[in-house]
Amino acid sequence: MALTAKEAGLAACHVCNRLIPVGELAATGHRCPRCGAGVHGRKTDSLARCWALVLAAVIFYFPANLLPMTHTGFLGKVQSDTIMSGVLYFFASGSWPIALVIFIASVFVPLLKLLVLAYLLISVQRRSHWRPAERTRLYRMTEIIGRWSMVDIYVVTILVALVKLGALANIEAGPAAPHFALVVVLTMFAAMAFDPRLIWDRMGEESKDLSHHRVTENTEKSVY
Amino acid sequence: MDKRIACHCCDLLHEVRPLPPGGVALCARCGAILYRYKRNPLDRTLALALTGLILFIVANTFPFLAIEKAGLTRKMTLATGIFELYREEVYLVAALVALTTLLLPLVELCALLYVFAPLRLGRRPRLLAPVWRVMARVRAWSMMEVFMLGILVSLVKLASMATIVPGVAVYAFGALIVVLTAAFAAIDPHLVWEALENR
C-alpha cells in the first residue's frame, strides 16, 4: 500500500491510532470515536506554534547561559557559577567526562535542538524535497534527546538540597535555573508541536507536480 | 475493527498483521516503529506496575543521599530538593521537578494499575478512555531516568568537596526506572483498543 492516510481521506488518532474518515470528523466534534482524544488530520497550526515556541526558547536561552546557575558559599566565600563556568571548572580540574556530560546536556543539546527545529520548519515551508527519511529521523532524534537537557536542573535540585551545611558550605539556586527550565520545557513543547508528516505531505505534492510536468512535456512533444 | 494503521511519523497506511515472537513492524517509508510483538502482555504489565508502586514508596520514604563533611551529616529524600527550591522561591523549578520526578511517575503507576488490573480480570475499567489518554500525554514528562543521570553528575561534582553516601532510596529509584520502562514496553495497546471498541 503506497497511500497515506490523508490521501485515503482518513485522519489517525494520536492516542489510539484509530483511523477516522475526514468527512466524519465534524460530526464527532473532532473527537476520536474510540478513545475520545482530539483528532485532526495534521496537528493544528503546527508550523506557527512550533516557530513561536522555538523563538521563545531562543529568547530564554541567553539568560539561561549568561546568568549564574548556582551560588556556592564555601567557608565564607560566595562564588557564582554559570553553566559554562561549571563546564570549564570540571574540564580544568581533570574530570572531563563530567564536563562533557554537562556541556552536551546543557549547552549543546538545547542549541542543537533549536537549530534542527528551525531547519525542519524552514525546509517544510520552502517545500523541500530533500531526503525526507533523513529529516524524519532527525526529528525523531530531537524528540528523544530533548528531555536529557533537564539533567542540569536536577543537579541543581540535588546540590541545593544536600549542600546546606551552615557556614561551612551552602549552595543556592541562581536566576539561570528557571530560565533554563523554561528553555527545556519550551523546546519539548516545540518538538511536540511540529508535525513530521508535513515533510511527507510536500513529497506528495512533488509527485503531482512531476506528473503535471510530464504531461506538459508530452503535449509539447506532440506539438513537434 | 479497522485492520489498518497510519504511520505516526509520515502518515503512510499499513495493514496490521500478526507478528512472529520478538517481531517489530517498521514503517516501509520512514522506518518508524509501528508496533511490536508482545508476550503475555496483561500479566507482565500488571506485575511490573505493582512492583513499581512498591519501589515508588521505598524511593520516597527512605533517605536518598547523605552528605558528610567535618562531622556534619545531612540526609535528603527526593522531596527535600523540591522543598528547598520552594523555600528559595524558585517556584517554577520546584514545580517542574515535583511534576517530572514525583507526581507524574505516580500518575503513570496508578493509571497502569487502573487500566490493567480490571483488564486482567476480564472487565473494562469505567474510565478507560480518559485514563488511557492521560497516560499517553504524561509519558513524555516523566523523567526519572534523567534525574538518575543528575544524581550521578552531582555525586562527581561533590566528590571533591565532601563524602556522599547513597541511601536505600537511590537503589529503589534506579530499579523503579527499569521496572516502569519495562511495564510500558510490555503493554500491548491493541488489547486496550479492543476493550475500547467493545463498550
The Cα of A190 is separated from the nearest Cα of chain B by a number of Å equal to 13
Q: What is the pLDDT of residue A205?
A: 66
How high is the ipTM of this complex? 0.88
Closest of B32, B48, B52 to residue B40, by C-alpha: B48
pLDDT at B162: 85
Closest Cα partner for B143 from A80, A99, A144?
A144
pLDDT for A211: 40
pLDDT confidence of A76, banded at 50, 70, 90?
confident
pLDDT computed for residue A141 by the predictor: 92
- For residue B143, give the nearest of A37, A133, A147 by CB distance: A147
Residue A20's Cβ-side half-sphere holds a number of Cα atoms within 13 Å equal to 29
Cβ atoms of residues A37 and B135 within 8 Å: no
pTM for the full predicted model: 0.87
pLDDT reported for residue A217: 40
The answer to whether residue A222 scores a pLDDT higher than 60 is: no
pLDDT at B71: 82
Helices (H), B13-139: 41-61, 78-87, 91-98, 104-120, 128-138
pLDDT at A213 over 80: no
Top residue of B1, B3, B5, B10 to mutate, by most chain A CBs within 10 Å, is: B10
Tens digit of each residue's pLDDT, chain B (199 residues) = 678 899 988 889 999 888 889 899 999 888 899 999 988 899 999 999 999 999 999 999 999 889 888 788 888 888 899 999 999 989 999 999 999 999 999 999 999 999 999 999 988 899 999 999 999 899 999 999 999 999 988 888 888 788 888 899 999 999 999 999 999 999 998 888 888 887 6
Q: What is the pLDDT of residues A88-109, one digit of tens each?
A: 988 888 888 888 888 998 899 9
How far is CA A57 from its chain centroid? 10
Taking the CA of residue B63 and the nearest CA in chain A, the distance in Å comes to 11
Cβ <8 Å between B146 and A154: yes
Answer yes or no: are the C-beta atoms of B60 and B102 closer than 8 Å: yes
Q: What is the pLDDT of residue B1?
A: 63
> Do residues A158 and B81 make contact, with C-beta atoms less than 8 angstroms apart?
yes
pLDDT at A214: 40
Ordered structural domains, chain B, with CATH: 1-37 (no CATH), 39-197 (1.20.140)
Q: Give the three-state DSSP class for A74.
A: strand
Query: Is residue A220 over pLDDT 50?
Result: no
- How far is residue A22's CA from residue B2's CA, in Å, rounded to a whole number? 15
Over 90: is that where the pLDDT of A67 sits?
Answer: yes
pLDDT at B199: 62
Please give the Cα distance from A155 to A166 (Å, whole number): 20
How many residue pairs from chains A and B have C-beta atoms closer than 8 A? 199
Supply B185's cell numbers.
514496553
d(CA B188, CA B134) in angstroms, rounded, equals 17
Q: Residue by residue, what is the 3-state secondary structure of A12-64?
A: ECCCCCCEEEHHHHCCCCCECCCCCCECCCCCCCHHHHHHHHHHHHHHHHHHH
Please state the domain extents for chain A. Answer: 1-41, 43-196
- Record the cell numbers describing residue A144, joined without a space: 528523544
Nearest CB to A173 within list B93, B130, B161: B93
Closest Cα to residue A2, out of B10, B32, B25, B23? B10
Helix A109-125 vs helix A132-145: crossing angle, to nearest 10 = 150
Architecture of the CATH domain A43-196: Up-down Bundle (1.20)
Name, of A15-24, A158-167, B128-137, the range with top average pLDDT: B128-137
What's the whole-number mean pLDDT along residues A171-187?
94
Contact present, A31 and A39 (Cβ < 8 Å): yes
Q: What share of chain A is helix, strand, coil (3-state, %, to 5)?
A: 65, 10, 25
